[in-house]
Amino acid sequence: MKGWMGKTKALLLFTMLTLFLTACGKENLTALAPKGYGAESSMNLIILTTLIMVGVFVVVMIIYVIALVRFRRKKGQEDYIPKQVEGNHTLETVWTIIPIVLVLIMGVPTVIATFDLADTSNASEHLNVEVTGNQYWWHFNYDGEEIVTSQDLYIPTGERVYLNMMSSDVIHSFWVPTISGKMDVNPENVNTMYIEAYEEGVYWGKCAELCGPSHSLMDFKVIAVSPEEFDQWVSDMQAVDPEEEPQDTVAQEGKELFEANNCMACHAIGSSPAAIGPNLTNFGDRTTVAGILEPTKENLVDWIMDPESIKPGNKMTGAYPSISEEEANSIAEYLLQLKPSEITPESAGN
């Protein structure tokens, strides 16, 4: 039976190992293949601590298996009474000292990395973005640039971007596993962290603190583009004219409906910092509708018609009069042609 146990374990370990090696998860979501400064710092410590701990585990298992095999009672030993050992000072000292040393080996780099990641003294020399967490979407306001976006955060590669984060309602947590570890977004104070992406890419972000029914649907993206592309994006975004009339007639109709239904009470187009609902300036370039759906017109119409069925508990439900499918179609047409910049998620290699 013990052989069976051993085999099961070996099989289990082997399965896990294959899974681990063949798939570390999705490349723009996983924390196991870091592509940013914070994620790399974390990964270094993950590797260090894992190696030490696996070492300890191996030692424990060797003693365990030997003890079990050698000292299991055999037939005819029923009356055998083993020597009653009280303890062994040398041994006990050894397994007290060694863990202390191991703790030091893990503790020192941890403390160094902690202070490194918490160092925000140079924030003013870099790009600062004000991040607001909302049920269930993210608001990004680029300090001093007069650019406001939501859901998709554009950043230049190879540069530190400081995020000054606060929540408008409950606690959220900002997590882009491939670039950086997470930090909470609190309602009572601003938390600052910096992120730096090494490579261009569209990185998946997640909310990591339970914030209500649609907590699991509060995804966002960090879009890292080259510094030149980023500069281009900034000037494009600054040049947006919110009043610009669309070319297409359906879209024109959509714009009128957008205004007539007072959508602007919550959704700004342009650089207004107001943030009752997501800013829609570059909606046509968004990677998703509502953070989770493919950016197709059908999905957008579904969302406008009945947001509750897509994101339970969202604040848009019931905030406007009911809209016919045709009207929703026009509004979708209008919103999807809002493409103020040549720099899009495709520029980041999406």
Residues in 15-34 that interact with other proteins by CB under 8 A: 16, 19-20, 23-26, 29-32
In this complex, which beta carbon is closest to other proteins, that of residue 312 or of residue 318? Answer: 312
Task: For residue 312, give every residue at least 6 positions away whose Cβ sits within 8 Å of its Cβ, in sequence order, or none.
Answer: 213, 214
7 lies in the binding site for other proteins (CB under 8 A): no
Q: Of 10, 14, 61, 259, which one interacts with other proteins (CB under 8 A)?
A: 61
14 lies in the binding site for other proteins (CB under 8 A): no
CA 186, CA 159: separation in Å to the nearest integer?
A: 25
275 lies in the binding site for other proteins (CB under 8 A): no
Q: Tell me which residue has tokens 């000054």.
A: 164
In this complex, which beta carbon is closest to other proteins, that of residue 93 or of residue 235? Answer: 93
- For 267, the token pair is 């959704």
Residues 64-83 that bind other proteins (CB under 8 A): 64, 67-68, 71-73, 77, 80-83
Q: Of 196, 219, 302, 327, which one interacts with other proteins (CB under 8 A)?
A: 219
In this complex, which beta carbon is closest to other proteins, that of residue 99 or of residue 227? Answer: 99
299 lies in the binding site for other proteins (CB under 8 A): no
Task: For residue 109, give every residue at least 6 positions away whose Cβ sits within 8 Å of its Cβ, in sequence order, or none.
Answer: 44, 45, 48
**Closest distance to other proteins from the beta carbon of 141 (Å):** 19
Report the residue count for the chain.
350
- For 222, the token pair is 């960090």
92 lies in the binding site for other proteins (CB under 8 A): yes
Is 203 within 8 Å of 25 (Cβ atoms)? no
**Closest distance to other proteins from the beta carbon of 190 (Å):** 9
In this complex, which beta carbon is closest to other proteins, that of residue 84 or of residue 322? Answer: 84
In single-letter form, the type of residue at position 262 comes to: N
Give me the residues paired with residue 127 across strands: 161
* Chain centre distance of CA 293: 17
Q: How many CB atoms lie within 10 A of CB 68?
A: 11
In this complex, which beta carbon is closest to other proteins, that of residue 64 or of residue 231? Answer: 64
In this complex, which beta carbon is closest to other proteins, that of residue 206 or of residue 297? Answer: 206
**Closest distance to other proteins from the beta carbon of 216 (Å):** 4
Is 181 within 8 Å of 38 (Cβ atoms)? yes
88 lies in the binding site for other proteins (CB under 8 A): yes
Residues 233-272 that bind other proteins (CB under 8 A): none
Give the angle subtended at the CA of 263 by the CAs of 259 and 265, to the nearest 5°: 105
Which stretch, 104-112, 223-231, 250-258, 324-332, contacts other proteins (CB under 8 A)? 104-112
**Helix, strand, or coil (residue 194):** strand
CA distances from 5 to 8, 12, 57, 79 (A): 5, 10, 17, 28
120 backbone dihedrals φ, ψ, rounded to 5°: -115, 20
Binding mask 31-50 for other proteins (x = CB under 8 A): xx-----xx-xxx-xx--xx
Q: In which element (H, E) is residue 164 found?
A: strand 161-167
Q: Of 90, 121, 124, 189, which one interacts with other proteins (CB under 8 A)?
A: 189
β-pairing, 161-167 vs 127-134, is parallel
186 lies in the binding site for other proteins (CB under 8 A): yes
Binding mask 113-152 for other proteins (x = CB under 8 A): xxx-xx----------------------------------
312 lies in the binding site for other proteins (CB under 8 A): yes
DSSP code at position 278 = -
Is 152 within 8 Å of 223 (Cβ atoms)? yes
215 lies in the binding site for other proteins (CB under 8 A): yes
In this complex, which beta carbon is closest to other proteins, that of residue 146 or of residue 169? Answer: 169
317 backbone dihedrals φ, ψ, rounded to 5°: -55, 125
In this complex, which beta carbon is closest to other proteins, that of residue 7 or of residue 339? Answer: 7
In this complex, which beta carbon is closest to other proteins, that of residue 175 or of residue 233? Answer: 175
